[in-house]
């Protein structure tokens, strides 16, 4: 069964280089992929800061697309216009629940 990758996780790649039989082209493809993966890892590391005493999670100011939210996944985001921390949760059966915390 093919795996569907959400558009926001797909890595841009040069299709012509991927199809090339030239080893130098394939090395370039893998180098570019490595560079993109390192950048994604760094963005993740920047978003989560955990120590033995605290955890900090950087959130966006807009919701993650519901269609991209997997079962048993949670999305936190800030609605600055209403001064609320918003939570979106998808249950194992696909049921979507939302909640909010007023910020004062």
89: Cβ contacts below 8 Å, ≥ 6 apart: 73, 74, 75, 96, 97, 98, 99
Note whether 69 and 104 are same-domain residues. yes
Note whether 63 and 77 are same-domain residues. yes
Note whether 49 and 81 are same-domain residues. no
53: Cβ contacts below 8 Å, ≥ 6 apart: none
Note whether 53 and 23 are same-domain residues. yes
**Structural domain tally of the chain?**
2
Higher-confidence residue: 9 or 84?
A: 84
Note whether 19 and 65 are same-domain residues. no
pLDDT tens, residue by residue, 42-98: 777 777 777 777 777 788 888 888 888 889 999 999 999 999 999 999 999 999 999
pTM of the model: 0.53
Note whether 54 and 87 are same-domain residues. no
User: What is the residue range of 38's domain?
Assistant: 1-58
**Of 12-21, 28-37, 77-86, which range is least confident?**
12-21
Note whether 36 and 2 are same-domain residues. yes
């Amino acid at each position: 069964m093919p795996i569907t990758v959400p558009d926001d996780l797909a890595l841009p790649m040069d299709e012509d280089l991927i199809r090339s039989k030239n080893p130098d082209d394939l090395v370039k493809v893998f180098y570019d992929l490595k560079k993109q993966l390192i950048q994604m890892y760094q963005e993740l590391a920047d978003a989560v800061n955990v120590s033995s005493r605290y955890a900090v999670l950087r959130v966006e100011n807009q919701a993650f697309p519901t269609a991209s939210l997997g079962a048993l996944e949670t999305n936190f985001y800030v609605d600055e216009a209403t001064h609320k921390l918003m939570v979106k949760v998808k249950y194992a059966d696909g049921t979507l629940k939302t909640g909010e915390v007023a910020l004062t």
